[in-house]
């Protein structure tokens, strides 16, 4: 998965701390598996940036490792049943009631850092 545009950031009142991910952005193959605290996430490369999502679709817990990016890379679509979520805030697009955990991911030097958005 790759693309050009970045995602708009949701802005909660208080933001959790950034946490260093256990992957090397130089050598990792994206989408890459990583951990943020107790959360096991999938890190996507989007254009020059990154975004994290929970590893499984909340619909039927199918892996999102081979999901598609939609809508100019602002959404992710599970390949199993085409459920689509916004990467900005995890909100369900075509499957109301579901929510995908998404993570802000940034690079600092040789490290990738992440923190939950929702």
Partner 1 sequence: MKSSAVLLKGAHMIDPGRGIDGVQDVALENGKIRSLDGLPPDAEIIDLKGCYVTPGWIDIHVHIYGTLGFADPDSIGVCQGVTSYVEAGGPGIGTLDEFLALLEGQTKTTLYAGPYIRPLGILSLNFIESDVRTLTNIPITQWIDFHKAHPGLLRYVKVGAFSGYGYGPTKIGKGLAEILELPLYAHIGEHQLQPGHDSAYEIYRVSEAGDIVTHVYHGNACGILDNDGKVLPVVQDAKNRGVLFDVGFGGYNFSWRVAERAWAQNFFPDIISSDLQQFNVAGPAYSLANVMTCFMKLGMSLKDAVEKVTSAPAKALRMTDIGGTLTPGLPADITVFRVDSGAFTLTDTTNHTRPYDKKIVPVMAFKNGERIDADLERCQDEKNWLIQVADDHEPEGMKRLTAAQKVFLGALAGKLAAIQWDEFSVQTLDYEKSLVLQDAFHQVQKEQSIPLRDALIAVFDLFLDHRFSMQVGLFLLRLDRAFALDRMRKVASTQRMVA
Contact footprint for partner 1 (CB under 8 A)? 59, 68, 70-71, 77, 79-84, 93-98
Helices (H), the chain: none
Measured CA to CA, the distance from residue 7 to residue 4 in angstroms comes to 10
| Shorter beta-carbon distance to partner 1: residue 96 or 109 | 96
Closest CB 23 distance from partner 1, rounded Å: 26
Measured CA to CA, the distance from residue 48 to residue 62 in angstroms comes to 27
| Shorter beta-carbon distance to partner 1: residue 64 or 112 | 64
| Shorter beta-carbon distance to partner 1: residue 11 or 110 | 11
Closest CB 61 distance from partner 1, rounded Å: 12
| Shorter beta-carbon distance to partner 1: residue 35 or 81 | 81
CB count in 10 Å sphere of residue 67:
24
Placement of tokens 């995908």 in the chain: 100
CB distance 89 to 62 below 8 Å: no
Closest CB 51 distance from partner 1, rounded Å: 18
Closest CB 1 distance from partner 1, rounded Å: 15
- Return the ∠ at Cα 27 (arms to 23 and 16), rounded to 5°: 25
């Amino acid at each position: 998965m790759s693309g050009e545009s970045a995602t708009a950031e949701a802005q909660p009142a208080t933001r959790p701390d950034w946490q260093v991910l256990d992957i090397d952005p130089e050598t990792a193959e994206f989408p890459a598996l990583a951990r943020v605290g107790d959360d096991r996430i999938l890190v996507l490369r989007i254009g020059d940036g990154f975004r994290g999502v929970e590893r499984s679709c909340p619909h039927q817990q199918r892996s999102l490792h081979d999901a598609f990016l939609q809508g100019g890379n602002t959404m992710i679509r599970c390949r199993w049943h085409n459920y689509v979520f916004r990467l900005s805030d995890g909100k369900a697009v075509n499957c109301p009631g579901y929510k995908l955990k998404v993570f802000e991911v940034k690079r600092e030097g040789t490290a990738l850092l992440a923190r939950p958005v929702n």
